[in-house]
Amino acid sequence: MTRGTIEERSVTLSNDQLSVTVLPDRGARITSLRNVSDEREWLSQARDLTLGARPDPGSTFTESDHCGWDEMFPTVDACTYPSGPYRGLQVPDHGELWSRPWDALEVTSVTARHRVRSDRFGYTFERALRLDGATLRCDYRCVVEADVALPLLWALHPQFSMEEGTRLELPGHRVTVLDTSFPDDPRAVSWGGDLVVERDVEKDADRMLYLHPDDGVSQATLIDPSGSWLEVAWDRSFAPYLGIWADHGRHTSGRVLAIEPTNGFFDELARAERNAMVTHFTPGEAVSWWVEVTLGEGAN
């Protein structure tokens, strides 16, 4: 992926198994996650392979480059902050982090630690990346500076590029999942054992699914027909819910699937607060969690 004429920082981490590229000035967006051995690029790219202007704070995410991996916080869907000292303030689409530059705290050939602070809602958010063989380890830390506990919703948003026939597999057995494509009218739909974008999502459409809140899954795997695979595992003690967003050319180029572990159910901070299904961050106490993404070859 190339960039426009704007001068911006770029960080590349690499070892003999992985290559990862981060753009700190674009919400610390990860724009490349590549298996060195088979050259498989797992992250979606901008439609014309060129990034446009950096988004302004408060922008609508679907009007941006809509590629790569970013962090959604403190909401997914735009909403009004539901409680406490920030009640009534507007929380922008996709949250605040994706459209703001992050500060670099530490960068080596295999590690990168970045931080961003929200003056509006009084929190500091940090993500540390580390390559460990074929695994990208992500450690998160958030501290709230307000005088009261705040509900804050985080969701991972890695837009994985799906080959024809690439399937999503989940451990365990389930009969149905929730289709939340229309958030005010969620409905149970059958789960056939896996998900293939071109089979399960109409062309030029997208689909949002959630596992039922009591489903105990803490990992998910993508498997190419060639045998290349990617596994996402996460800290379920912090993020007990899982969203799955699949796009078949509506917002992205080609077929894209996002595996979205989250600490809120679902998608909108105000709704998750009403559902009593979102983490409350205690003032001054660091909340930490982790995600690991492992790449490999030779799956059946």
- Sign of dihedral through CA atoms 35, 236, 276, 73? negative
Give pLDDT tens digits along the chain (300 positions). 544 434 578 999 999 999 999 999 999 999 999 999 999 999 998 766 667 777 777 777 777 777 899 999 999 999 999 999 999 999 999 999 999 999 999 999 999 999 999 999 999 999 999 999 999 999 999 999 988 999 999 999 999 999 999 999 999 999 999 999 999 999 999 999 999 999 999 999 999 999 999 999 999 999 999 999 999 999 999 999 999 999 999 998 889 999 999 999 999 999 999 999 999 999 999 999 999 999 999 987
| DSSP-derived pairing of the beta strands 111-118 and 103-107 | antiparallel
Residue 192's CB: how many other CB atoms inside 10 A?
10
* Long-range contacts of 196-203, Cβ-Cβ distance < 8 Å, separation of 24 or more: 196/165, 196/166, 196/167, 196/168, 197/162, 197/166, 197/246, 197/247, 197/248, 197/255, 197/256, 197/257, 198/164, 198/248, 198/255, 200/246, 201/246, 201/247, 201/248, 202/248, 203/248, 203/249
Quick check: 159 and 67 in contact, CB under 8 A? yes
| DSSP-derived pairing of the beta strands 50-51 and 2-3 | parallel
What tokens appear for 298 in the block?
């030779």
Instruction: List, for residues 152-200, the tens digit of each pLDDT value.
Output: 999 999 999 999 999 999 999 999 999 999 999 999 999 999 999 999 9
What tokens appear for 11 in the block?
């960080």
Q: Work out the percent of the chain whose per-residue pLDDT is above 70.
A: 95
CA distances from 21 to 9, 111, 224 (A): 11, 11, 22
CATH topology of domain 2-296: Beta-galactosidase; Chain A, domain 5 (2.70.98)
